[in-house]
Structure 1
Amino acid sequence: MATMLRLMWHIHVNKESLWIKWIHNAYLRNDDIWHVQAKNWDSWIWKKILKVRDKAVNFCGVVPWHRTIWETTNFPSHSFICWLAIQDRLLTIDRLIKRGLMNTNNCCLCTGSENRNHLFFECCYSREVWLKIMGWLRFKWQSCNWNQLVIWYSERLKGDGFNQRIKRMALTTTIYSIWRERNFRIFKQKARSADQLSKDIKLCIYSFVLNGSFKAEDRELIISL
């Protein structure tokens, strides 16, 4: 069971190995390890992996934000930071104070107090970054409220189309980038403007799409934005 779960994780993050790449090419061309269904002609080992997958899902359950955070288009490191953030497990200053490790709470991005909801995306700095990204991707609805965004993504942005996948990627990349910017300012005394950070986020998404295995019309769409 442990071995199968380990294989599932390697498949999910598309670990650099010949067998994992073969699995993606043979079984996961238009799907992911969490949603693909076994077919009669699939190999014995693949069917066993999917049976273990189903047991794990039934035991642990699937949260509403699962697809948003673990979208296969997302960078694994971005998904991991977002997974910690959505469970409020990142070591923001308010949590460090509760552990007795700090005495004062000052957001390094603005003049407020740092907690998860403030840092993503209520802080004036992160709000400016996120609104620039939402405007770039032509969101019809805009919000900088953490809870509203999680609910909206989980309930209204669940499709498999390119637009939906890129918007999920934009969320996780932005959260990761804001957290990284926060750490750079605290530990390295380096800072970027909101405009520069938003440009870096766009460049990250541009590079992924233009160098990835996306359709020609998808590449044209991202270039047109």
Structure 2
Amino acid sequence: MGKDGDYSATILWDDVRSVQNEVPWAGLVWFSRSIPRQSFFMWLLVNKKLKTQDIMSLWQSLGDTNFNLMCCSLCTSGPESHDHLFFECPFAEQVWDGVKGRAGMEMVQNKWDSIFDHLLQVSNSRNARHVIGKLVVAAAAYFVWQERNQRLFSPKRTADQLVEVILTTVGIKLHSMRFKRTTQVNAILLEWSLPHGLLMEDDDCG
């Protein structure tokens, strides 16, 4: 900065940003086939930056607010936290149970640490099943959080309704993707009721 020369947005960006080493979970949050708003939400979730009750209870500026009297708006059975909402809450657990088969994660426990560890192992994989798994987890977490917020002002949706929203969202995204022709992909297209026109040679997913 401060030197004469041609203006470049790239040079300006390099001057003002703080460059750090890539974190090991970058591939499970930011990947080319992700849904941007859900990727940003996953970044918040992985960094535990969502304003859940356990986080807000640590804020000293809230005066006399008694968070011991508050409870999860989805199940009303106890205080909420990141781990509770994703997906140990009885309501969120129903949602996750309804979609995890489509993510190829039937054997993964309904605990965020277990889900995160599984995704971390496949974070940079371009395998179709792994890409879909990342999409399903992001959509499930995003819509569970959305439902948690909307219940303050809007009618409740059932777990089955949320499952349908999640699967429809991921299904629409899959319609814009292309996959290599493999036995696994044939099974995925059938499982998601996708047209076989999505089958074509492509190095990104196999």
Query: Would you call these one fold, judging by a TM-score over 0.5?
Result: yes
- For residues 116 and 11 of structure 2, what CA distance do their matches in structure 1 show? 27
1:174 is aligned to 2:132: no
Aligned residue for 2:78? 112
- For residues 155 and 82 of structure 2, what CA distance do their matches in structure 1 show? 21
1:221 is aligned to 2:192: no
Query: 1:192 and 1:140, CA in 2 relative to 1: closer, same or farther beyond 3 A?
Result: closer
Aligned residue for 1:63? 23
Q: Spell out the pairing of 1:116-195 with structure 2 (5 A cutoff).
A: 116-156=82-122, 158-186=124-152, 188-195=153-160
Preserved CA contact (<8 Å) 1:170 1:205: yes
Percent identical residues: 25
Query: 1:5 and 1:185, CA in 2 relative to 1: closer, same or farther beyond 3 A?
Result: farther
Higher helix share: 1
1:97 is aligned to 2:57: yes
Query: 1:5 and 1:146, CA in 2 relative to 1: closer, same or farther beyond 3 A?
Result: farther
CA shift, 1:62, in A, is: 1.5
CA shift, 1:215, in A, is: 3.7
Q: Spell out the pairing of 1:2-81 with structure 2 (5 A cutoff).
A: 3-4=9-10, 59-81=19-41
- For residues 104 and 66 of structure 2, what CA distance do their matches in structure 1 show? 41
Query: 1:6 and 1:196, CA in 2 relative to 1: closer, same or farther beyond 3 A?
Result: farther
Aligned residue for 1:14? none
Instruction: Give the letter aligned to residue 94 of structure 2.
Output: E
Preserved CA contact (<8 Å) 1:92 1:115: yes
- TM-score normalised over the length of structure 2: 0.75
Query: 1:121 and 1:6, CA in 2 relative to 1: closer, same or farther beyond 3 A?
Result: farther
- TM-score normalised over the length of structure 1: 0.69
Aligned residue for 1:197? 162
CA shift, 1:95, in A, is: 1.7
Preserved CA contact (<8 Å) 1:209 1:219: no
Preserved CA contact (<8 Å) 2:96 2:140: yes
CA shift, 1:139, in A, is: 2.7
Preserved CA contact (<8 Å) 1:73 1:166: no
Moved over 6 A (4+): none
CA shift, 1:189, in A, is: 2.9
- What RMSD in Å do the two structures reach over aligned CA positions? 2.7
1:52-92, Cα deviation, whole Å (9 max, x unpaired): 6xxx89x4112121111112211111011111111111111
- For residues 6 and 130 of structure 1, what CA distance do their matches in structure 2 show? 43
Preserved CA contact (<8 Å) 1:133 1:202: yes
- For residues 42 and 139 of structure 2, what CA distance do their matches in structure 1 show? 9
